[in-house]
Structure 1
Amino acid sequence: MNAETLAAAYISAWNETDPARRRTLVEKTFSGAISYVDPVMAGDGRDGMDALISGVHQKFPGFRFNLLPGANGYGKHIRFSWELGPAGGEAPIQGSDVGVIEDGRFARIIGFLDRVPA
């Protein structure tokens, strides 16, 4: 398991704005039984993940996720941090996610918001 590669695939799925391309990335990155939860949203299954990602793009148009250095993992667990902000600008939102990998895909994810605007 390469934590950086898996985290980069995760970020790519979250950054994709084209619905058809995003769905392809969701299929490759998340298991069919994916379970996601963070302080402001939750979703299950690939349809749920696709809807969550679409919702972020609607709420924050033009924002992009950026993977921060230091993704790591052990066994089937992975931990990484990211930031979200306007393309080319300062990111007002930062978070960390912990995932469980099964068969090379994310099966469960717990997200934490480390920095959010007031």
Structure 2
Amino acid sequence: MSAQTDRRTDRYQDAVTRYFEAWNAREPETLAKAVAEAWASQGGYIDPLAEVRGHEGITAVITAAQARFPGFAFRLTGTVDGHHDTARFSWELVSEAGGTPGAGPAPAAGSDVITLDAENRIVSVLGFLDRVPAGA
């Protein structure tokens, strides 16, 4: 693998790392900062349950998810795959307490596709939910 390929791969991995830092930030100031570092100012987020644009909208969606699943965190599953300005990855929601291995599937899981700008900030997220709890 060439050094240029490594840099491109790091670009996607770094963006996804910032994405999860935002989704797992609990304090309002930390969350606002993490969203601003991960997303472009008019970046968007869309999945079957939400469609928002801008840092305030994204922060509101993350805050609502955290309220719905207290004590859980979002975690990358598998590897990040990307090309050009687009990356895809899968995630699951896991107990922050560590949970019990084999205790059952995560309450929510999915796959997201992100598009990045020239500064490697997220311009858009297109989320797919593979598993959601009843009533979500």
Pairwise TM-score range, normalised by the shorter structure: over 0.9
From 105, 109, 115, the counterpart of 1:100: 115
TM-score of the two chains, using structure 2 as the length reference: 0.82
Match of 1:33 among 36, 42, 48: 42
1:15 is displaced (CA, Å) by: 0.4
Residue 56 in structure 1 maps to residue 65 in structure 2? yes
Question: Secondary structure, in 3 states, of the residue corresponding to 2:45?
Answer: strand
Identity in percent: 36
In structure 1, what is the Cα distance between the partners aligned to 2:133 and 2:37?
32
Runs of 4+ deviating beyond 6 Å? none
Q: Which runs of structure 2 are paired with 1:1-118 in the superposition (5 Å)?
A: 1=8, 2=10, 3-87=12-96, 88-89=98-99, 91-102=106-117, 103-118=119-134
User: What TM-score, normalized to structure 1?
Assistant: 0.93
The Cα shift of 1:64 comes to 0.5
Residues 57-89 of structure 1: CA distance to partner in whole angstroms, max 9, x if unpaired?
A: 111111100111211100000101100132212
**Cα distance in structure 1, aligned partners of 2:87 and 2:33:** 22
Unpaired runs of 5+ in structure 2?
A: 1-7, 100-104
Question: Number of residues paired by the alignment?
Answer: 118
Deviations 1:84-107 (A, max 9, x none): 132212522110000110021000
Give the secondary-structure state (helix, strand or coil) at the position aligned to 1:71: strand
Q: Distance in 1 between matches of 2:128 and 2:19?
A: 15
